[in-house]
Amino acid sequence: MKLKPLIVFVSALAVLSIIVFVVRRPEAPASADARVGAPVVEAALIEQATKLRIVDQANTVTLTRGADDSWRVEEYHGLRADFSKLAQLVSSVAEAKITRFVSARSEILSRLDFGDRRIEFFTTNDRSLAMLVLGKNADTGGRYIKFGDESRAYLANLNVWLDAVPKNWADTRLLSLKPEDVAHIEISLPNEKPLTFSREKAGDPWTTAELPENRSIVETKISALVSSLVHLRFSETTAPDDEAAVAARAHTRSFRLTTFDGAAYTVALGRKPEEKKLKTPEPGSADFLKNSPVNPDGSVKPIEPKPELPEFETIPAGPVYVFITAADEKEPVNEAMRQRAYQVSEYSFTSLPQGASEFFEEKEKPAASAETSEAPAGES
């Protein structure tokens, strides 16, 4: 091989190596950036926040803190936010720290997937306290982040999942009670008188004035019913005057719960029942022409001796709604019920007791004494 072409080839490789080094040259040591080792967002700033906005591409959710310190979901009818979910997100941000400076070069930033994904904290007057822009997760752990409009990327030991769907942030619990809080329950039954059960304190056996002779109370049945009522969660909401909600209100089963401290709540569940409706053929359809007294050519059909039986269509039962009323007008659940109508699972309704007999069972017969069982036959 001639020397000159070899020299040209080597020179070209040297130039290429220099270009690669320039493009991939390491950044300044992490310790040179004052942010390294600092919290992603200072706890003091988070404590000042009265509004939190989460953005993930086209989805946005805004959580605001009210005068009563409860958080609300602005984009979902102003319903209460799930505080445990909010606390988990805030804790993840507050505990995260910046582990190193990554880059300020646009060609590197473009590879870190900084789309429109961010978490922003605001004060009462909508002044931004901190904006955290999120990139992709790093292969070695942690997440790439930027601050506001800055063109500097960092790596932080941050582990968050951005949920920017407003409905997912609503607190689906409808009552802030525990089963052990309930001292008294009145149960409505189809075509029967209501049943009432009471207890002196949590853990005591339930008692009732309606106890049938030679029967005992099925404690587990009452406990299961109380638990299902206090733990009700909604799956969807509609306007209070929604047709399905209005129909459900007309077909409810109600239960009244009274706590040991005297608070009372009426919980009613209902839905529009299944309906069988006479099927009317549409004009122009085959069934319509078949049942018409006139043939398509205008001639009159002969009267059939036996008319066909009418056809019925079944309209399914509507969704199940729950309606809750607290005796204390100031209870938050009353305002929530005025805002929206709440759908719950079908099982919440179909599992309700259908008769008083479900709460009672035959008393166990006392065991025969040893003397009686061992006495010889015929001995008196």
pLDDT tens track for 274-302: 988 877 766 655 555 555 666 666 666 66
Give me the percent of the chain exceeding a pLDDT of 70.
79
Q: What is the pLDDT of residue 371?
A: 54
Q: What is the pLDDT of residue 366?
A: 67
Residue 103's DSSP bridge partners are 153
Give the pLDDT band of residue 308 (cuts 50, 70, 90).
Answer: low
- Give buried/exposed letters for 215-226 (b at 16+ CB in 10 A, else e): eebeeebbeebb
Using one digit for the tens of pLDDT, what is the confidence trace for 124-157? 889 999 999 999 999 999 999 999 999 999 999 9
Using one digit for the tens of pLDDT, what is the confidence trace for 162-175? 999 999 999 999 99
Q: What is the pLDDT of residue 372?
A: 53
**H-helix or E-strand spanning residue 118:** strand 117-122
For 179-238, where are the E strands, in sequence order? Answer: 182-189, 192-198, 215-217, 236-238
Comparing C-alpha atoms, which of 35, 71, 69, 77 is closest to residue 53? Answer: 71
> Higher confidence at residue 9 or residue 376?
376
Task: Give phi and psi for 59, each to the nearest 5.
Answer: -100, 140
Q: Where are the alpha helices (DSSP H) in 173-242?
A: 219-230
Q: What is the pLDDT of residue 276?
A: 83
Q: What is the pLDDT of residue 17?
A: 55
307-311: long-range pairs with CB below 8 Å, 24+? 310/278, 310/279, 311/278, 311/279
Question: How does DSSP assign 330-377, residue by residue?
Answer: TSHHHHHHHH-EEEE-HHHHHTS--SGGGGEEEPPPPPPPHHHHHSPT
Comparing C-alpha atoms, which of 191, 134, 129 is closest to residue 159? Answer: 134
What average pLDDT does the segment 26-50 reach? 82
Using one digit for the tens of pLDDT, what is the confidence trace for 80-131? 999 999 999 999 999 999 999 999 999 999 999 998 999 999 998 899 999 9
Give the pLDDT band of residue 246 (cuts 50, 70, 90).
Answer: very high
Q: What is the pLDDT of residue 8?
A: 39
pTM: 0.76
